[in-house]
Amino acid sequence: MTHVRRKFPPRRWLSLAVAALLLGWCVKSALAPRPAVPAQDAGSTTPLALFVTADLQGQLLPCGCSEGMRGGLGRAAAQLARARAAGLSVVYLDAGDALFARAGLQPDEAVEDERKAKAVAEAMRAMGLAARATGPLDDVQGAAFRTSLGLPEVPDGTGRVLAVAGHRLGVVAAHSAKGLGEGAAQVRAEGADFVVALYGGSLEAALGALRGVDGVDLVVTAQEAAVVTVDDDSRLVKGAVPVARVQSRGRALLRLDLRFDGSGRFQFLSSSQDVEREAATQDERIALLKRELALPGQSAERKRVLSERLATLVDKRAALAPAPTASGTNGFTVRFIPLEATLPSDPAVDRVVEEFDADVSKLNLAWAKAHGQDCAAPKPGEAAYLGNAACEKCHAATFDVYRKTGHARAYRELEHVHKQYRLECVACHVVGIQQPGGVCRVDRVAGRDAVGCENCHGPGSLHAALPNDQSMPRNAPTRAVCLGCHTPENSPHFDYAVYLPRVLGPGHDAKR
């Protein structure tokens, strides 16, 4: 292949003009606190669609533990792509705490989670991330690791003006009222038309911090330590300045639509009550359908019909457009898009996830082979895990029941999706994780490769040595034991009264 170099005629006047312009711009930027944004056309009316993720906590993809789990960066990316395809100018921001799920990682966990953080960063780049705030969960492996990912960060207490389609979008990152005020003042001074603040703290803290602060049009909160619960659904507090919290771990996406149709400060168009009511109704119907789908013992045909109905509803919900009202003003609308499982996923981000999946298993296995340690021996008098085989000798009848339950297949299900070498997955899918006699390295799970008797009844070595009805840690495991694994996030339909009978039967629980 030959490279053709095009020769441009020497247009001296043009290069001079450009040089002069550049010089002027450079001098200006040297004087200004931040580089000024390149020239924009002030009268642009191109509408903007702004998307924000928050509290992602390293969640690339939901675990797939239950049907219909929300989330996945690929689904978020597909929403951005859809808006771009509709001819909108799209801006993507992240409010922080995206990279890790928790602090205090063990060396093996660090291998897995750093690789995952890299994949999150890659996915964000593929989505065209324009700016982000950072939170404590971004710095779990140190600030140097975070900055090595090369994401466009807005330092705490400051702001940045993004030039998009002829508009100036101000992005502020703050953890306090002071930072919020200073960041807002900065981007306003730099001529921002619209200002989004990414606030590290709770909704309540953000509302407090807003008092006395001028110049912010919308606040998105993130980085609240206790945020990941079943109830942390997205919330919007409507006030003079609306404050939004996005459901954590990538389960929802925030979307703002900005309409430039006038001048001056933007009005929050919350007036489209009908759209909001419609969204709420659809959310309820989606929740009902998902619950119905999760009920056991349905025919494949019935499941298919329900799934199709769900997919249609979810699609409509995602496309619900907030109808802009009165024109002649600058205005914006806010809505959340719950990232339901039936929504499409973006191929570019899917590829990032696939590469991560393939890579992380290799890394984990190699680490285990090079540095893995077996679990420590039990302390004197402490019980160790033995694995199912030890129980079967004396409790054969119980196994007739047990073998028919999902618990017996739990590790095979991981192998089936090629995630058996993932620390974050084996945690709930093997016997005695990080416990004496249990599993402490991903390459040694023999005899512990299931959710076994001891996951519910406790470690059995003392009982096996002295078998009676007093020596097991738990004769009748309670609901709390189940909830250790059946969390609201990965077992959203867990109902003790429904689930318990499915693990018992004649031979396991004499009363039945």
Residue of 147, 65, 124, 135 lying closest to 101 (CA atoms):
135
CA dist., res. 378 & res. 462, Å (int): 11
In this chain, which of 184, 428, 439, 445 binds ligand HEC, going by CB under 6 A?
428
Q: Does 409 bind ligand HEC (CB under 6 A)?
A: yes
Q: Which is nearer to ligand HEC, 115 or 235 (CB)?
A: 115
Q: Which is nearer to ligand HEC, 216 or 485 (CB)?
A: 485
Q: How far is the CB of 512 from ligand HEC (least distance, A)?
A: 8
In this chain, which of 373, 393, 446, 466 binds ligand HEC, going by CB under 6 A?
393
Identify the residue whose tokens are 């490279």: 3
Q: Does 481 bind ligand HEC (CB under 6 A)?
A: yes
CA dist., res. 2 & res. 178, Å (int): 58
Amino acid at 21: L
Kindly identify the residues of this chain, within the stretch 120-139, that bind ligand HEC according to CB under 6 A: none
Identify the residue whose tokens are 């002027």: 24
**Per-residue tokens: 308:** 């199709």
Identify the residue whose tokens are 């093997």: 430
Say if CB 432 and CB 438 are below 8 A apart. yes
CA dist., res. 190 & res. 188, Å (int): 5
Residue of 140, 138, 132, 194 lying closest to 158 (CA atoms):
132
Q: Does 422 bind ligand HEC (CB under 6 A)?
A: yes
**What is each CA distance from 97 to 136, 171, 307, 357, 496, in whole angstroms?**
6, 17, 33, 22, 33
Amino acid at 83: A
Q: Does 510 bind ligand HEC (CB under 6 A)?
A: yes
Please enumerate in sequence order all residues whose Cβ is within 8 A of that of 297, keeping only pairs 6 or more positions apart, or say none: none
Say if CB 342 and CB 78 are below 8 A apart. no
Rounded to the nearest 10 degrees, how much is the dihedral formed by the CA atoms of 438, 443, 449, 452? 10
Q: How far is the CB of 275 from ligand HEC (least distance, A)?
A: 33
CA dist., res. 436 & res. 385, Å (int): 6
Binding string to ligand HEC for residues 489 to 508, with x set by CB under 6 A, is what? -xx-xx----xx-xxx---x
Q: How far is the CB of 507 from ligand HEC (least distance, A)?
A: 7
Q: Does 307 bind ligand HEC (CB under 6 A)?
A: no
Q: How far is the CB of 89 from ligand HEC (least distance, A)?
A: 35
Q: Which is nearer to ligand HEC, 157 or 467 (CB)?
A: 467
Q: Does 410 bind ligand HEC (CB under 6 A)?
A: yes
In this chain, which of 427, 434, 444, 495 binds ligand HEC, going by CB under 6 A?
427
Q: How far is the CB of 136 from ligand HEC (least distance, A)?
A: 22
CA dist., res. 46 & res. 86, Å (int): 12
Q: How far is the CB of 360 from ligand HEC (least distance, A)?
A: 10
**Per-residue tokens: 17:** 């003009």
Interface region with ligand HEC, contact rule CB under 6 A, candidates 135-143, 260-268, 307-315, 400-408:
400-408
Q: Does 361 bind ligand HEC (CB under 6 A)?
A: no
Interface region with ligand HEC, contact rule CB under 6 A, candidates 37-45, 78-86, 318-326, 395-403:
395-403
Q: Does 486 bind ligand HEC (CB under 6 A)?
A: yes
Kindly identify the residues of this chain, within the stretch 450-469, that bind ligand HEC according to CB under 6 A: 451, 453-457, 460, 463-464, 467-469
CA dist., res. 447 & res. 428, Å (int): 15
CA dist., res. 184 & res. 218, Å (int): 11
CA atoms 338, 342, 347, 353: torsion sign: positive
Q: Does 364 bind ligand HEC (CB under 6 A)?
A: no
Kindly identify the residues of this chain, within the stretch 56-75, that bind ligand HEC according to CB under 6 A: 63-66
Rounded to the nearest 10 degrees, how much is the dihedral formed by the CA atoms of 473, 476, 481, 483? 180
Q: Does 394 bind ligand HEC (CB under 6 A)?
A: yes
CA dist., res. 202 & res. 179, Å (int): 15
Q: Which is nearer to ligand HEC, 209 or 390 (CB)?
A: 390
Q: Does 293 bind ligand HEC (CB under 6 A)?
A: no
Q: How far is the CB of 473 from ligand HEC (least distance, A)?
A: 9
Q: Which is nearer to ligand HEC, 60 or 254 (CB)?
A: 60
CA dist., res. 190 & res. 170, Å (int): 9
Q: Does 143 bind ligand HEC (CB under 6 A)?
A: no
Q: What number of chain residues touch ligand HEC (CB under 6 A)?
A: 63
Q: How far is the CB of 325 from ligand HEC (least distance, A)?
A: 43
Q: Does 383 bind ligand HEC (CB under 6 A)?
A: no
Identify the residue whose tokens are 């003079």: 240
Q: How far is the CB of 491 from ligand HEC (least distance, A)?
A: 3
**What is each CA distance from 98 to 103, 225, 249, in whole angstroms?**
13, 13, 8
Q: Which is nearer to ligand HEC, 101 or 213 (CB)?
A: 101
Give the residues lining the site for ligand HEC (CB under 6 A). Answer: 63-66, 386, 388, 390-391, 393-395, 398-399, 402, 406-407, 409-410, 413-414, 417, 419, 422, 424-425, 427-429, 451, 453-457, 460, 463-464, 467-469, 472, 475-477, 481-482, 484-487, 490-491, 493-494, 499-500, 502-504, 508-511
